């Protein structure tokens, strides 16, 4: 029986999802689908759509960037900054002296001299100067395909757009057809709400110009635009050891860790410059030394964790240094020597959270990730530190996830599933669970919208394999969307009208969304109320 | 106060005098310019990073920013470029530690592609940040020498 047949044969509850049955927020209500708890579409009481005007200069709602925090942003009790040696590379890459220069090939020197035109010379000059600041000895040729995190068409992005328009005007393109992060707007699903549609259009007025730019530079079609570019349906992946030019913290994190690619954590814009040149400077996580673990994360939990919450604990502790994680392989299914498609969701949730709660660009999991399978604890750097995560520590970390809703006692208004974008297994799991729960209660629709974020090609696979299930959950009020949830939640005014709940610790970290376990999210979706 | 001189690595040189804007904790770039990035403001840049007690609410436009390094979202680099372009970016970045990849990308892209210089010197040392106080006179020389006081 192949995997697809196996999945179809299983009852919904037998599927193992991301964050299986984890109760994250303290709640007594973990009982599933209690009958008779009401039906029909609940009113989103207490919401006030208000008026949103882009010309409003009053800063009263920082939205997505309100409350972002981790150890790296603080000052210790001794009055000195914490983790102030960050270089943003994920590996403490350090300069090699005042006048360090990398060794360039003759071809690269010729490009700098203008052999491929003035614009390409500027592209390479930017890359070389950047690399030399971090001690790069040389440039590496990119393999695979690029992934860009330049995805928000906000007015302040204009100089970046102009930079790449100059590049496109010169006839240059990325070295291979590439993927892009999901757009922060979706006019066809979440955009059915006129207030939110206006927010999106006013918040990202240059989105069309940005799409046009990516099209000119050689981006693949929008149905594969996704932060999870490595999903099988999207297919932006490569053999272990391949050097690629990616940005998007969660994709870099997954690519380095689970796929064994070699990627530095670059600022948005640099990844696309490197993609145009087809070259990246070799430093940080492109080197063997930069991939050594400076932390041993010793997980001693009595049950399978909420993977996003676990990642949050790790990221907050190690900030950007590489962790080597032991004790979680018992919950990671393997197939042909690689994490299986269900494990992909777990590692995606954990890794993206390490990258948002901290700035982790690479982690190793004992017996799971490719380098750990080969090198095991030899990956631990000399003098590494150890962080034990047991049940008590996990409870402590969960207790730090505060309620940031504007009306902290209001009812939830929407359920957000999938940040980073859902895998196919995840949307299948949620579709089956929601459908079963609705049928059990004799309820036709969810009480509040369930926003299911994934690329179109992933949703289309559900259409292909489970068309009636897709029909039923669409009728029930589940909204499939391509949005980037934090980008959508970050819109000015959104926090005034939305009190969302989510399964994603990354989304929680970057917005006012509140984190809940799967059982609670099902209950919230059906009742429009928080668990008692 | 007695004048003290520090020397760092010159990333982008320039001669500037002014007053210090100091963040002893790493400066969260995208978290600090939220009002400009998402609120459309162009006449000033009040720091929006509530976690930064030293700078929260203070105007960052034209600052000579003294800090260990920058942190935060990978949008931070293009945020520096964008803020410079709309006229509220820093005049200079003075880092006690080595520069990070976000700030490096931002200042280089602004310099090479928009010809908008943000004078940038890193590796000035811990003593620099222990010495400099908010509002101290700062004088930056072409050779990377920074005089405080």
pLDDT tens, residue by residue, A286-306:
999 999 999 999 999 999 999
The SS3 call for residue A157 is: helix
DSSP state of A156: G
Interatomic CA distance for residues A169 and A249, integer angstroms: 29
Helix residue ranges, H only, chain B: 29-32, 34-38, 76-85, 101-114, 126-131
Distance of CA A515 to the CA centre of its chain: 15
Instruction: Say whether A59 and B34 touch across the interface (CB within 8 A).
Output: yes
The ipTM (two decimal places) reads 0.95
Which residue would you say has higher pLDDT here, A421 or A58? Answer: A421
Residue B91 clears pLDDT 80, i.e. is over it: yes
- Quick one: pLDDT at residue A491? 82
> d(Cα B140, Cα A464) in Å, to the nearest integer?
64
The reported pLDDT for the residue numbered A101 is 92
Burial group, residue A94, by CB count within 10 angstroms (0-12, 13-18, 19+): middle
Q: With contact defined as beta carbons under 8 Å apart, do A291 and A261 qualify?
A: no
Determine whether the interchain pair A87/B101 forms a contact, defined as Cβ–Cβ distance below 8 Å. Answer: yes
In this complex, which of A57, A66, A68 lies closest to B40 when CB atoms are compared? A57
Of A96-100, A102-106, A413-417, the one with minimum mean pLDDT is A96-100
Distance CA A342, CA A383 (A): 34
A82 pLDDT band (50/70/90 cuts)? low
Check the CA dihedral A162-A167-A171-A176 and report its sign: negative
pLDDT of residue A28: 34
In this complex, which of A65, A159, A270 lies closest to B30 when CB atoms are compared?
A65
Measured distance CA(A125)–CA(A139) in Å, rounded = 12
Q: How far apart are CA A315 and CA A398, in angstroms?
A: 14
Residue A343's pLDDT band, with cuts at 50, 70 and 90, is very high
Q: Looking at beta carbons, which residues of chain A come within 8 Å of B36?
A: 156
DSSP letter for each residue of A189-214: TGGGSHHHHHHHHHH-TTHHHHHHHH
What is the model's pLDDT at position A90? 56
Between CA B59 and CA B67 the distance in angstroms is 16
Q: Beta-strand (E) ranges in A90-152?
A: 139-141, 147-148
Q: What is the pLDDT of residues B112-148, one digit of tens each?
A: 999 999 999 999 999 999 999 999 999 999 999 999 9
Q: How far, in Å, CA of B20 to CA of B15, rounded?
A: 14
A86 contact residues in B (CB cutoff 8 A): 26, 69, 71, 100
Q: Give the pLDDT score at A100.
A: 86
B71/A156 touch (CB, cutoff 8 Å), yes or no = no
Nearest CB to A126; choose among B40, B102, B108: B108
**Confidence tier at A441 by pLDDT (50, 70, 90):** very high
A182, A151 Cβ separation under 8 angstroms: yes
Residue B3, pLDDT above cutoff 60: yes
What is the average pLDDT value for chain B, to the nearest integer? Answer: 93
Round the average pLDDT of chain A to a whole number and report it: 85
Task: Count the Cβ atoms, other than its own, within 10 Å of residue A141.
Answer: 11
pLDDT classification of A495: cutoffs 50, 70, 90: confident
pLDDT in tens, A357-377: 888 999 999 999 999 999 999
Q: Give residue A384's pLDDT band: very low, low, confident or very high (50, 70, 90).
A: very high
DSSP secondary structure string, A24-81? -S--S------TTS--SPPP-TT-------TT-------GGGTT---GGG-B-TTSSB
pLDDT beyond 90 at A447: yes
Question: At residue B47, what are phi and psi to the nearest 5 degrees?
Answer: -60, 125
> What does the alpha-carbon distance between residue B84 and residue B21 come to, in Å, rounded to a whole number?
16
Arithmetic mean of pLDDT, A176-199: 92
- Name, in order, each residue with C-beta under 8 angstroms of A74's C-beta and a sequence gap of 6 or more: A81, A82, B25, B51
At A8 the pLDDT is: 39
**Confidence at residue B31, expressed as pLDDT on a 0 to 100 scale:** 81
Q: Do A89 and B101 touch (CB under 8 A)?
A: yes
Rama region for A434: left / alpha / beta (φ>0; ψ in -120 to 50; rest): alpha
Q: How many C-beta neighbours within 10 Å does residue A292 have?
A: 20
Contact call for A59 and B71, based on CB within 8 A: no
The minimum CA-CA distance between A227 and chain B, rounded to whole Å, is 14
pLDDT (0 to 100) of residue B128: 97
Q: Check residue A259 and report its DSSP letter.
A: S
Closest CB to A65: pick one of B34, B81, B98: B34
* Interatomic CA distance for residues A18 and A521, integer angstroms: 13
Give A460-467's long-range contacts (Cβ < 8 A, gap of 24+).
A460/A223, A460/A233, A461/A233, A461/A424, A462/A424, A462/A427, A462/A428, A462/A431, A465/A4, A465/A8, A465/A428, A466/A428, A466/A431
d(CA B85, CA A221): 31
Q: Are the C-beta atoms of residues A369 and A322 closer than 8 Å to each other?
A: no
Angle at A26 between CA A25 and CA A29, to 5 degrees: 100
For position A494, what pLDDT does the model report? 86
Q: Whole-angstrom Cα distance, residue A123 to residue A394?
A: 46
Question: Could you give the CA distance from residue A283 to residue A96 in angstroms, rounded to a whole number?
Answer: 11
Q: Is the pLDDT of residue A4 over 60?
A: no
Residue A3, min C-alpha distance to chain B (Å): 37
Q: What is the DSSP letter of A224?
A: G
Please tell me the predicted confidence (pLDDT) of residue A79: 60
What does chain A come to in residues?
Answer: 532
- Cβ-based neighbours of A463, under 8 Å, separated by 6 or more: A470
CA distance A3 to A492: 44
Q: Is the four-CA dihedral A349, A227, A474, A457 of positive or negative sign?
A: negative
B71 to chain A, closest Cα gap in Å = 7
Residue A92 confidence (pLDDT): 59
Do the Cβ atoms of B81 and A160 come within 8 Å?
yes
Average confidence (pLDDT) over A28-42:
29
Whether B8 and B144 have beta carbons less than 8 Å apart is answered as yes
Of B48, B78, B103, the CB nearest to A62: B48
- Higher model confidence: residue A74 or residue A402? A402
pLDDT digits (tens, 9 = 90+) for A127-142: 999 999 999 999 999 9
Above 80 in pLDDT, residue A310? yes
């Amino acid at each position: 029986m192949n995997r697809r047949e196996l999945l179809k044969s299983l009852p919904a509850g037998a599927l193992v999802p991301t964050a299986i049955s984890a109760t994250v927020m303290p709640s007594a209500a973990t009982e599933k689908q209690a009958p008779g708890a009401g039906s029909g579409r609940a009113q989103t009481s207490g919401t006030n759509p208000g008026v949103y005007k882009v010309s409003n200069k009053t800063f009263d709602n920082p939205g997505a960037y309100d409350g972002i925090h981790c150890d790296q942003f603080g000052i210790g009790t001794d009055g000195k900054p914490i983790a102030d040696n960050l270089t943003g590379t994920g590996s403490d890459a350090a300069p090699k002296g005042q006048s360090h220069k990398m060794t360039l090939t003759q071809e690269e020197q010729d490009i700098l001299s203008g052999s491929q035109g003035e614009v390409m010379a500027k592209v390479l000059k930017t890359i070389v100067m950047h690399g030399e600041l971090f001690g790069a000895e040389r440039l590496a040729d990119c393999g695979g395909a690029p992934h860009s995190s330049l995805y928000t068409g906000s007015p302040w992005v204009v100089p970046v757009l102009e930079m790449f328009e100059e590049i496109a005007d010169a006839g240059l393109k990325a070295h291979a057809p590439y993927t892009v992060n999901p757009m922060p707007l979706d006019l066809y699903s979440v955009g059915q709400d006129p207030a939110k549609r206006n927010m999106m259009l006013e918040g990202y007025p240059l989105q069309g110009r940005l799409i046009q730019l990516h099209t000119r530079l050689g981006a693949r079609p929008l149905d594969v635009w996704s932060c999870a570019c490595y999903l099988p349906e999207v297919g932006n992946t490569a053999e272990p050891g391949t050097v690629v030019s990616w940005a998007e913290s969660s994709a870099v994190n997954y690519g380095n860790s689970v796929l064994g690619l070699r990627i530095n954590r670059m600022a948005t814009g640099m990844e696309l410059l490197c993609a145009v040149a087809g070259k990246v400077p070799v430093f940080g996580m492109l080197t063997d030394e930069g991939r050594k673990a400076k932390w041993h994360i010793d997980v001693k939990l009595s049950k399978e964790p909420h993977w996003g919450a676990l990642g949050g604990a790790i990221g907050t502790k190690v900030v950007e240094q590489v962790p080597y994680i032991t004790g979680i392989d018992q919950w990671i299914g393997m197939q042909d020597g690689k994490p299986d498609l269900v494990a992909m969701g777990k590692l995606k949730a954990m890794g993206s959270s390490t990258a948002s709660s901290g700035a982790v660009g690479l982690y190793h999991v004992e017996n799971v990730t490719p380098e750990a399978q080969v090198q095991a604890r030899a990956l631990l750097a000399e003098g590494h530190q150890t962080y034990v995560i047991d049940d008590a520590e996990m409870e402590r970390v969960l207790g730090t996830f505060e309620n940031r809703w504007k009306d902290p006692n209001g009812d939830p208004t929407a359920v957000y599933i999938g940040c980073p974008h859902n895998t196919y297994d995840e949307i299948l799991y949620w579709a089956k669970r929601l459908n079963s729960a609705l049928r059990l209660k004799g309820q036709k629709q969810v009480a509040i919208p369930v926003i299911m974020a994934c690329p179109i090609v992933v949703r289309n696979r559900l259409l292909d394999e489970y068309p009636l299930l897709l029909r039923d959950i669409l009728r029930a009020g589940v909204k499939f969307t391509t949005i980037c949830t934090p980008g959508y939640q970050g819109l000015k005014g959104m926090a005034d009208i939305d009190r969302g709940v989510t399964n994603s610790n990354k989304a929680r970290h970057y917005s006012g969304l509140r984190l809940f376990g799967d059982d609670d999210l099902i209950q919230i979706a059906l009742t429009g109320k928080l668990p008692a | 106060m007695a004048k003290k001189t520090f020397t760092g690595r010159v990333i982008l040189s320039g001669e500037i005098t002014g007053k210090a804007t100091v963040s002893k904790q790493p400066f969260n770039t995208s978290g600090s310019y939220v009002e400009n990035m998402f609120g459309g403001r162009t006449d000033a840049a009040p720091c929006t990073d509530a976690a930064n007690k030293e700078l929260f609410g203070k105007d960052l436009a034209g600052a000579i920013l003294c800090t260990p390094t920058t942190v935060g979202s990978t949008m931070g680099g293009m945020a520096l470029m964008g803020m410079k372009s709309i006229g509220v970016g820093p005049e200079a970045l003075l880092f006690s530690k080595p520069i990070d990849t976000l700030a490096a990308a931002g200042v280089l892209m602004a310099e090479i592609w928009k010809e908008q210089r943000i004078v940038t010197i890193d590796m000035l040392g811990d003593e620099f940040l222990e010495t400099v106080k908010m509002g101290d006179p700062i004088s930056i020389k072409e050779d990377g020498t920074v005089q405080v006081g």
